[in-house]
A and B are shown apart, each in its own frame.
Chain A
Amino acid sequence: MPLLKNNQFVNDEWTRVADADALPEGAKIIVNSARLIQDWDLLAKYTGLLGVSIANNERAEILTPYLSQLSLIVLNFPAYTDGRAYSQAKDLRLDGYRGELRAEGNLLLDQFQFMHQVGFDSFAVNERFALQQWQAASKQMSLAYQRGLFRISGEREVWSQRHQGFAPWEEQPHAG
């Protein structure tokens, strides 16, 4: 499954570590939220980079105490019609998380720009669509009415444009 980041396919350097497995030294690992919380004393001293995956029925707030030490958070779309991870992503970004935020699951072209706008910046996509289709899908609309978007596709916020001189809702640096 290709990993899409900054509109390019890249190698996925992250390893998923199952609950019972030992932690590989100095790697980039993804654990689930239960293990993160349970083994925090150990994981806080981990020598590599730490990522976590949460289910879409978990509250993003459970990660709040750990955010500064996380380099990757993986959110899931079990079906493209299940939009919970959009709110989880937005919550995490509003909470100040600036690391990589990855979408995985049933990802289709037509929701791709929405995902960027709420703060996702990497995508575990399937092989059905070519790179240029993803690239085009990331900027189908050049405008958005909402403010406080996690701007990465370069669309303009209509209200901020109309009323210039005001800072955007939040200054958010590009991540990833």
Chain B
Amino acid sequence: MYRYDEFDHQFVSERTAQFRDQANRRMSGELTEDEFRPLRLMNGLYLQLHAYMLRVAIPYGTLSGKQMRQLAYIADKYDRGYGHFTTRQNIQYNWIKLEETADILQALADVEMHAIQTSGNCIRNVTTDHWAGAAADELLDPRPIGELIRQWSSLHPEFSFLPRKFKFAITGAPHDRAAVKVHDIGLRAHKNDKGETGWEVMVGGGQGRTPMIAVTVREFLPEKEVIPYMEAIMRVYNLFGRRDNKYKARIKILMHELGAEKFKAEVEAEYARHPVQTTEVEQRELTRIEKYFAQPSFEKMSRFAPHFENAKRENVDFTRWAKNNLATHQVDGYTIVNISLKPEGGIPGDASGEQMRVMATLAERYSFDEMRVSHAQNIVLPHVKLEDTFAIWQVLKANDLAAANYGLIGDIIACPGLDYCALATARSIPIAQAISRKFADVKKQEEYGPVKLNISGCINACGHHHVGHIGILGLDKKGEEFYQITLGGSSSENASIGTILGPGFAAHEVPDAIETILNTYVKLREPGEEFLGAYRRLGPKPFKEALYATA
């Protein structure tokens, strides 16, 4: 994985010193809260309902054991002993004091991490496929270009005061696990006949109040042109994106109002206006970065793992976990371990300091010292020998990390909601917990097959409800929380926005409503047909009828 050199180190420490000065000026009253706000936001510090919240960047979700230990240390020392992994592959701390923030940033800098641009109207943390470098279907590792974009976008003088926040997602695999079509810019790798790499550039996807699927503006952008071409897109957005209404300020609205053809023409005109003299340095930098992401030294092993097979014969719980939480690796004898942060009745994405240390140790011992945070708020050990999985599972089980529900109905994405968030209109966490308890039995979850259930506590859609196979949106009606259900969303390569089924439900009715939907699916599915496929074939009608029949 990427390691800082002297420049990266110096950059982050200067930035930390700068923030310490800004925080001091705020505390002395020299800066007003209004003036401090964009500065603290550029450093990931939010003022929430009860306290400051600090969001730490985990670039493309990749992290080492040492880094995870430091996150645990921060959770224990500066927060209440836990952290919350987010849908942007980041971690958030919810109980932070302003006067301690600079110390936390220093602790992060010590392990090559920062909180730069995790909020504010700038280019946010770049996300990628959480199985990057490990997935069997991968064309190439998307992280080197992710790191190139991370560096280029860090304190970019021209693009730090955009109309609104800006998110990149990148995938190197045809099966899209990074939700690239619902990002401001999504990049997907392709190879041409000559074996050269190019990137499909998709612009204007997004969720929030106005969910949209991104439009492809370039089918095959040569790799060396990525940075200058991104500059052209960003410049067009910075100049012409709306600033009169923050709900209409994302690039998707500009794309929509101009129309895809006009937007493309603007970008191409901007790109042609200032031809780049050389991209030699960018290419060299990418080559330098790629070396850090070279495959680890995998052992040559047989596909058959006798200990693993034995353990499965002897332990039915392990078998279930192995079936649901392991994924196919590029290399024979290895597997991808998905650690679900969704225990029965738990808060999706939360991990205690102790759990973080446990995962760090497992990564150091069994996964070439590497972990990933997934946008579904789970942790991945990307390179594990099949033969080691039973030992890993035992440790996970002892630490409440062995939920066998990866990709099933219990693997819920949820935003922090009204329990923490100043924007929320309803609580998300208790709904997630109630559904998780309702479907506690993993056998039952398996009967329903792969289902993505996503919960947002307001229309800003941080819980990705628009692209959940089942989406739940928490709203407020005259002081009462109620929940709208959408079906048929997807964030994969066949991305789609879910359709609202009908009137909303009170909090206590939601778990039963979900069960009704799932049972309707089970009744009507064809052999082998997954939930999303069945919904796309059947449409909303049978689900509506089942849900509202007695209403």
Contact = CB atoms under 8 A, between A and B. Distances in A.
A34 B11 CA distance: 43
A162 B235 contact: no
B285 A83 contact: no
A141 B278 contact: no
A162 B5 contact: yes
Contacts of A86: 157-161, 238
B285 A163 contact: yes
A140 B239 contact: no
A147 interface: yes
Interface string A52-63: 000000010100
B11 A158 contact: yes
- Residues of B contacting A: mostly: helix
Contacts of B121: 81, 83
Contacts of A94: 273-274
B229 to A, nearest CB: 15
B158 A87 contact: yes
A144 B243 contact: no
Given A145-B152, A169-B278, A162 B285 contact: yes
A40 interface: no
Interface string B224-266: 0000000000010011000100000000000000000000000
Contact of A143 (B7, B238, B278): B7
A52 B180 CA distance: 43
A127 B441 CA distance: 67
A166 B285 contact: no
Given A146-B152, A159-B285, A140 B14 contact: yes
Of the listed residues A84, A117, A145, A147, the one surrounded by the most CB atoms of chain B closer than 10 A to its CB is A145
A114 interface: yes
B11 A87 contact: no
Interface residues of B, number: 39
Interface in A87-125: 87-88, 90-91, 94-95, 108, 110-111, 113-115, 117-118
A145 B151 contact: yes
Given A91-B235, A163-B284, A145 B161 contact: no
B22 interface: yes
A169 B279 CA distance: 8
A143 B277 CA distance: 22
A66 interface: no
Contact of A141 (B5, B8, B18, B160): B18
B15 interface: yes
B165 to A, nearest CB: 12
Of the listed residues B5, B11, B281, B282, the one surrounded by the most CB atoms of chain A closer than 10 A to its CB is B281
Contacts of B155: 114, 141, 144-145
A160 B121 CA distance: 27
B153 to A, nearest CB: 8
Given A83-B238, A88-B239, A166-B281, A110 B39 contact: yes
A166 B278 contact: yes
Interface in B265-307: 273-274, 276-278, 280-282, 284-285, 288
A113 B281 contact: no
Contacts of B8: 158
A117 B157 contact: yes
A82 interface: yes
A82 B285 contact: no
B11 A143 contact: yes
B7 A161 contact: yes
B181 to A, nearest CB: 26
A160 B284 CA distance: 10
A-B complex: 9 closest residue pairs judged by Cβ atoms: A83-B161, A117-B157, A114-B157, A145-B151, A94-B274, A163-B284, A158-B7, A87-B238, A86-B158
Given A86-B158, A169-B276, 10 more contacts: A81-B161, A82-B243, A84-B239, A95-B274, A111-B160, A113-B157, A114-B155, A118-B157, A141-B15, A163-B284
Interface of A: 59, 61, 80-84, 86-88, 90-91, 94-95, 108, 110-111, 113-115, 117-118, 140-147, 149, 158-163, 166-167, 169-170
